[in-house]
Amino acid sequence: MKQITIKNRVEGVGIGLHKGEPIRIILEPMEANTGIVFFRSDVQMSVKAAPENVVNTQMATVIGAANGSISTIEHLLSAIYAYGIDNIRIIVDGPEVPIMDGSGGSFCMMLDEAGKRVLEAPKSFLVIKKPVEVQDKEKFARVRPSKTPTFRFTINFDHAAIGRQEYHFVLGKKNYLNEIARARTFGFLRDVQMLRSRGLALGGSLDNAIVMDEKKILNPEGLRFEDEFVRHKILDALGDLALLGAPVIGDYESFAGSHHLNHLLTKAILKDPSNYEIKMFAPEVESEYEKVFA
């Protein structure tokens, strides 16, 4: 298999979740072995999507350098990961990637518009060789060896609209578009009010998130999936694991996971070289992965 970039430059505009200001976003093709690079044009900051560049995981995954940071990168990265794109530059003119409708759907439309270009360099995979787990009390995130890239997630919220939800997702572009991409981020009205008092979530609305009060969902259109909440958690996990820099061949599982746990997991994987192997598959085993990552 070969590395992939996008074919054409595309751009869009959306609201930033936390600052509530319009953000212009541009996706550009890049050459082989570049990886996923973010560029913040207002402060001339370039930073690669990589675990060592993560500076905050409290409300979203945030990467940064000495002169600034870029927040809420995970929804876009999940779409890039599912589309099998290895090399791309993302330009924003502010401190965050626009929230769009709170899912990965708008970014999928941008990637469809951009198209794909196959490069000459071989594609690398990160193959999990042994189990790796991180925990926070009863919460955990882990990876285990598996020939099929899968994501298993369980959540358990003490809220009538959520409760306990489980989902098992087998990675593939078609599966992502059908099962995961449209699942929106979610939050509670009490938390939104608290965040706004601190100058955050100023762009949050019923147009870009599922919002709940103490008893019910406030969005008049309701849910896109009955279990939209846990599906969005898988969307986030895909985006967070994209920071590893190569598609993961393994089984990911989490209970009540978060951006923070996902970040700790990526660091734990890379900390010990015996946990994984970077491989370029021989032609006789490539075919089973082409339909997943092509």
Which candidate in 232, 259, 260, 263 is catalytic? Answer: 259
How far apart CA 165 and CA 123 sit, in angstroms, is: 35
CB 254 within 8 A of CB 235: no
- Please name which of 105, 78, 104, 73 lies closest in space to residue 90, comparing C-alpha atoms: 73
Q: Are strands 62-65 and 54-56 parallel, antiparallel or unpaired?
A: antiparallel
How far apart CA 71 and CA 60 sit, in angstroms, is: 7
Q: Quick check: is 232 catalytic?
A: no
- Please name which of 189, 292, 230, 201 lies closest in space to residue 19, comparing C-alpha atoms: 201
Give the CA dihedral 56, 59, 60, 63, nearest 10 degrees: -20
CB 76 within 8 A of CB 104: yes
What backbone torsions phi and psi does residue 241 show, to the nearest 5 degrees?
-75, -20
Q: How many CA atoms lie within 13 A of 92 on its CB side?
A: 23
84-117 in b/e form (b: 16+ CB < 10 A) is bbbbbbbbbbbbbbbbbbbbbbbbbebbeebebe
Query: Active-site residues: which are they?
Result: 259
